[in-house]
A = this chain, B = another copy of it.
Amino acid sequence: MPKVVDHERRREELADAALTIIARHGMRGVTTRAVALEAGWSTGVLSHYFGNLNDLLLAALRRAAEVQGRVFRERRGQSPDDVVERLRLLVESTLPLDERRIALTRIFAVYYAEVSVNPQAREDVADYQDNFRRMVERIMAAGQSDGSIPTGRDPSIMAMDLVALADGLAIHAVIDPRIAERLRDEERPGERIVSEVLGLGTRDGSPVATS
């Protein structure tokens, strides 16, 4: 019987190998040789699937976004009746609280630096973030409709801020171990972040003080 090659699977393996190298050594570590070695294929196989390094890097970015997107979808389905809890789970899935999420944050930071020189990477990253914002906005709008969260603020502005705050904290935690430690020391960092953007008091009973 002829050998059946699962091309999609092989592309994924090569993209995953690129992600592993980016997380470990940054963008500079990504060479066709290093990626082929990490994936266990020859550079010839690699060049069959990806014409150049740029194509491979874009495939890796899409793969990272796909993995994170799957996490979002899984978490979105949890606690369907509790808007703050759903947003908390989403936010915490992006914070660098374990090795996998540290690697993902590093990878996205590398692509953020790419956007000024690579229009396709810019578009891919912008689309990914826009999807995340829309998901957050829909959850917030539903919460405003059913009265579970305050209605005073525009959900599209709150979604923009929530995604930016989560991402800013994630990047700062990767840069500065003291920030990473502070986030890990909080039992539910996502809840504070969500409460802040929604203008809620904290859930442990201490309300936000007002002057």
Contacts and interface: CB of A to CB of B under 8 A. Distances in A.
B112 A109 contact: yes
The complex is assembled from copies of this chain, and their number is 2
B151 A209 contact: yes
Interface stretch (A2-10, A21-29, A31-39, A42-50): A21-29
Given A164-B172, A168-B171, A200 B193 contact: no
A155 to B, nearest CB: 12
Interface in A102-124: 106, 109-110, 112-117, 122
Interface string A123-153: 0011001100000000000000001111111
Interface stretch (A12-20, A55-63, A67-75, A174-182): A174-182
Interface in A151-195: 151-153, 157, 160-161, 163-169, 171-172, 174-176, 178-179, 182, 192-193
A181 to B, nearest CB: 11
A71 to B, nearest CB: 19
Given A152-B207, A161-B169, A113 B196 contact: no
Which applies to chain A's interface (DSSP): helix, strand, loop or mixed? helix
Contact of A150 (B27, B110, B193, B208): B208
A197 interface: yes
B113 A27 contact: yes
A117 B25 contact: yes
25 contacts: A25-B117, A26-B116, A26-B117, A106-B116, A109-B109, A109-B115, A109-B116, A110-B113, A112-B171, A112-B175, A113-B114, A129-B175, A129-B176, A151-B209, A152-B209, A153-B208, A160-B169, A160-B182, A161-B193, A164-B165, A164-B169, A165-B165, A165-B168, A167-B172, A196-B199
Interface of A: 23, 25-29, 106, 109-110, 112-117, 122, 125-126, 129-130, 147-153, 157, 160-161, 163-169, 171-172, 174-176, 178-179, 182, 192-193, 196-197, 199-201, 206-211
